[in-house]
Amino acid sequence: MKNFFYLTLTSFIFSSILWILWHFLDTHAFFLAGKGAFFYLPHAARVLCVVYFGYRAIPGVYLGELAGPYVITPDMYAFSTLIPSFISVISVAFAIALLNSLGLTLGHTRSSPLNKRNYKHIFLITFISACFNALVVNLYLSRNNLSFSNAITDIEQVYRFFIGDILGTVIVFIFLATLLLPLLRQARIQ
């Protein structure tokens, strides 16, 4: 129970921070403004939390996904993001389940077909989940005649979602590897 509380809190904070950072860059960074769809940072939170904490991280990530559009900028989307956000969060679980059904079970040893400690395997999960997210969320939006402001729900949006999720995750991973790891090493030395 204590573990569930910690992982939910960590997932929620991580997801919220990435959403706020992404929103800030999308609206305020002069050369990135309006191009947020091409570097959707919060997808990294979905991938990292669901891969490392398991399916139990889904509520925390989901709450983090909702906190931004509902608490920080309530008028950002003209439609309810409850279902699209849920589809996005379970996209990672879907990717893991799909790979699992193909015999590629997720573990953390060298002999595991999918190794949590190997970033290439995590990128494979990112790729499949981005694909699922782009297709299913846009299918839902299209079926319900919903669209983002100044955008049409079409194949271009599917492409933007797909590229955005992958690029966003890669950016966060590189950021964490270049900044977080040296800081942790430095803290360990001290």
Partner 1 sequence: MKEFYKNISDALSMLDGLEQDLNIRHLTPNELKVFYTIIIRSYQNNNGSNISDIVENSGMSRSTVYKTLKKLSAEGIIHLSQSDEDGRESLVLLNS
Binding site for partner 1 (CB under 8 A): 2-3, 6-7, 10, 48, 52-53, 108, 116-119, 122, 173-174, 176-178, 180-182, 184-186, 188-189
Residues 6+ apart with CB under 8 A from 180: none
* 9: number of Cβ within 10 Å: 12
Burial 119-151 (b: 16+ CB within 10 A, else e): eebbeebbebbbbbbbebbbeebeeeebbeeee
CB of 141 to partner 1, least distance (A): 32
CB of 14 to partner 1, least distance (A): 11
Complex with partner 1: residue 10 or 91, whichever CB lies closer: 10
At 80, which amino acid appears? S
Complex with partner 1: residue 155 or 177, whichever CB lies closer: 177
State CA 59 to chain mean position distance: 13
Complex with partner 1: residue 35 or 117, whichever CB lies closer: 117
CB of 42 to partner 1, least distance (A): 16
Complex with partner 1: residue 28 or 188, whichever CB lies closer: 188
